[in-house]
Homo-oligomer: A and B are copies of this chain.
Amino acid sequence: MKVKITEVALAAGVSSATVSKVLSGRTGYAVHAATAERVRQAALHLGYVPDLAARNLRTGRTGQLGVVLEAVGSSEPDSLLGGVTAGSAVRRTFDGAIMAGLNDAARELEVPALVVYPGGGKPPASYLDGRVDGLLISCDPLRGHGLLEALSGAALPIVALWTENPPPGMSAVDVDHQAGGALATDHLLGLGHHRVAFYGGGEASGVEHFRRRELGYRQAMLAAGAPVQTALHDGALLVEAVRRGEVSAVFAETDLAAAAVVQALSRAGLSVPGDVSLVGFDDILGAEYIAGGLTTVYHPAAEMAAEGVHALMRRLQGESASQLLLPPHLIVRRSAQTQSESPVRQEWRLKRPPKM
């Protein structure tokens, strides 16, 4: 059945202790090169696979990192995200990105496995059962820091994702939403728009990240000496404002909100970017099909997750807790154009699509 270390020892003509020294992966043991080689051959030949449980019991470590996906699979309505209904789709996109980032980093750092906790039920206790050496928590921004607080005193090194200000002792990685908001707004400003509105802040206004995006907008407007407008989160109101000539460009809180803007505008016979320039945030799947190509702020979720793994590994190597804010960057497509180009007839555009 299962090959154990003693059988390898027997085959190689050495003791189990020697086999362990060779195969444990730990360097620094004094083993004769020839002996080591003999052991490795025997192990390979017998198809030896070390028993993790035994090793963990002995060493007290597992080499595994734990992951808590706070929001994943939850079936709560998440219409808050983006201010428009989106099922669980947006979350799933981000969770997929998180997993991708975690996987890449784990592979790179040779972390053998990630332990993903289903979450939902009884949280804290099970995270501390020695299954993992450290914990990554992908927080749900909609839920506040309840889980982090609960884990606050834990002996386990923890790094929080989607979090700017973690409880003391924890590391954190987040995207710099404020910088992203400023980036989007500056882009519009740079295109000659002064009458830039922020679209969002509706039901989702309680979400820290979205407030930071708006803060970035305000900061950029202020810095440019442009008039900060009160946030809009109603299509009809936006249409009126556009008609009154009060807004020529919109920075939407999320790409989904941007899609809602496009829809509201187009129902009123207004087009993007013909009548209004638009910038979104997130670069979700399908962004290139919104308004013929939505200019938006790329949200580095996968990168954030990867940085989280790095941060956790550093903690495991004795470094102290750290905090990191990832800069987002702009993806320029077609939904935002210079103001002078704006008043262009729709028919004209059909015949001569603007070059990228």
The answer to whether residues A103 and B129 also contact, given A96-B93, A285-B90, A286-B290 and a CB cut-off of 8 A, is no
A95 in contact (CB, < 8 A): yes
Interfacial residues of chain A within 272-320, with CB under 8 A of chain B in the complex: 284-287, 289-290, 302
- Residue numbers in B under 8 Å from A289 (CB-CB): 259, 262-263, 286, 289-290
Instruction: Produce 1/0 per residue, A104-122, CB < 8 A to B.
Output: 1011001111111111110
Distance between Cα atoms of A14 and B88 in the complex (Å): 50
- Sort chain A's interface into a size bin: 35 or more
A49 — which chain B residues lie within 8 A by C-beta? 125, 128-130
Interface residues of A in 235-274 (CB under 8 A from B): 259, 262-263, 267, 269
Is the C-beta of A57 less than 8 angstroms from some C-beta in chain B? Answer: yes
Complex contact A52–B130 (CB within 8 A): yes
Residues of B contacting A149 with CB < 8 Å? none
Number of copies: 2
CB-CB under 8 A from A69, the residues of chain B are 99, 103
Nearest first, the 9 A-B pairs at minimum CB distance are A286-B286, A96-B96, A92-B96, A53-B56, A73-B103, A73-B100, A95-B96, A89-B285, A53-B57
Instruction: Identify A97's interface contact among B57, B92, B102, B113, CB under 8 A.
Output: B92
A88: B residues at CB distance < 8 A: 100
A234 nearest CB across to chain B (Å): 19
* Residue A46 interfacial (CB < 8 Å): no
Known A-B contacts A126-B112, A131-B113; A95 and B106 likewise in contact (beta carbons under 8 Å): no
